Structures are given as C-alpha cells and as structure tokens.
Amino acid sequence: MSAVSLLTVSEAEGEQRLDKWFKRRFPQLTQGHVEKMCRTGQVRVDSARCKASDRIVPGQTIRIPPLPDHAAPVVKRVSYTPADAKMIQDAVLWKDEHMIILNKPPGLPSQGGSGQGDRHVDGLTEALKFGYKERPKLVHRLDKDTSGLLMLARTDRVARALSEMLRHRNTRKIYWAAVAGVPHPRKGSIKYGLMKGGRGYGDSEKMICVHPAKMADYPDAKRAHTDYFTLWFLGNRISWLAMEPVTGRTHQLRAHIAEMGFPIIGDGKYGGSSTENMGDGWGAGIGGDLSRKLHLHARMLKVQHPITKEMMTFIAPLPEHMARTWKTLDWGENDVPLDPFGGDE
C-alpha cells in the first residue's frame, strides 16, 4: 500500500486487539512495526491515537498509513522434542472441536518473552493441533511457576468468545495456595491497587500494592480485587488457601497475599527472605522437607462453553511438589469444599 487508507472493522472480524487485527489483515507486518505505527500516531482508530493492545469493535474506522508490500521475514517455528510433545499432550485434561483445557505443569511459561527461553506453551501448540490445520490459541496466561488450568481456543471465533468472557468476568477461577502463616480474618477480600515497579518504585519485574485510599496518588495503579478463604492451617506456621481473582492483574494473587504478610510458599519474588518461616508471616520458605517451588495452582475453572452454552467445571489435580506437601501435612484434597466462596459445591 503506497497511500493512506481507511478501513472499517467488519462484523465477521468481531471484537479483538488492534495488533491481532493488523496481523490478520497485513501478515507482512511484524509486531514491532505495528507497535511503532501506533506509538508514532500513524495508525488511528476513529481519528484518535491508539495503542497496539487496544481493543477494536465492528464499525470502527482504522487509519492505515503506507505499508510495505514485501512479506516480513519468516520466523522459524520453535522446534520441540518428542518428549516435549508428549509432555504437553499429557497435560490435556479435556478437549473438543472448539477448546482445549490444559493442566499446565509448573516451570513452563505460557508464552515466550524476556528471560522465558524458547520452551513455552505457545511454542508447543503445534503438538496440540490434533488434526486441525491451525494451532490452538492461548486466551489467557499463567505465570511460569504457577500450575493448573489453562484454556486454548481451536478457532478464531472461539478465541474471541472466550476472550470476551474473560474480559467481562463471565468465568470463575479458584486457585489453591500454601502460604506462610495464618491470615486473620480467615476469609476476606483484598482490594489493593497494583502498579508495575520501576521508575523509583523498586523492582521493575514486581507489582507494587497501592492502598485503595491512595489510588488517586498513583495514576498508573489499576484496581484489583482478590477473595480468599482459609481451608486449613497448621498451628500458626502454614495455611492452605483458596483464592479467587475477581480482577485479573499481573501477579495479582502473589502480590496481594504477600502484602497481607502471608507470602505463598516458594515465592522468591514476593516472599522476601527465604529463611524458614516460624509463623510470623514473613518469608516464603517454610523449611523442613517441603519443596521450595511455588505452591500456587489454578485448581478450578467454571466457564460457559462458547458454542454449546453448557456450563462446565474443570478441576486440575495438584502438581507433584504440591501433592507431596499436602501429603506431608495430611491435607486431603477432597476434605474441603470445591467452591468455598458461595457457589455450587
């Protein structure tokens, strides 16, 4: 394209991120090129400046600057070993022609990125095609060291529908965690805002909690809400929590519960000292025979099937290191309510 043009988002394209729309319309463009055009104001949505991550809807008009005609360099698909293919296929809990539900192992990133290497769920989706031409698409993420339920869509239509459900909080996710100390009260809500560190606010890789009363003082902070419920505890040293993220901010559960003084076992980023915790709520290391891996697991997912409209509930078994901890502490997975927050058990 050698001239500026205006294109309208069609009903068939549906609601989606602007960068995804560009990649489908103009596959020769790289992600970096799209972001630069948005950053410099060359791309506009309904005449307004925009970000590559902004969501667009049918009927909106996109200003398209002159674009290169040549294709972007072919990116070599991340190769994977037969062992990796077996690992990711063994992680499939359920699938149909529309969706795949994984029980993601701990230590496996959802996507590539800074410091994540080449081995991640998104890079292994080639092994999850199961006869389809296209790879399934991630519609949300889990932190690298968090295990548990992860949804993938097998078509663009389903990806848009699931993304919409997540954005409007029409799904429910309950996580299990082992934390240092015992929260008081035993159940409650955490509503600290969250903002990314750096620029004078500490570690740039961490999320900083902001008291709800001070949100106006920090324009970069976003509101966040976590409900928690203490399912079991051992003295005053360690607790088994259920946590439900009402919002879905980066590192939300880890940052919120650590801010309360009860970091998740094995969380070196938010747990502070790794010294053995003696019950004061500090330190993410509990000592003894318990694993030092992160004890955070996406245990339950409730979602309406985007095509059949059936309400479905998925349960992910604990990863090996958490199962060992539960056995050591004599905690029974079936001895607690599936949904302690008032839903159906």
Tokens of 92: 């499939």
Catalytic annotation present for 143: yes
Q: Which of 143, 145, 227, 267 is catalytic?
A: 143
Tokens in use for 189? 């809500």
Integer Cα distance of 336 and 345 in angstroms: 10
Please identify every residue annotated as catalytic: 143
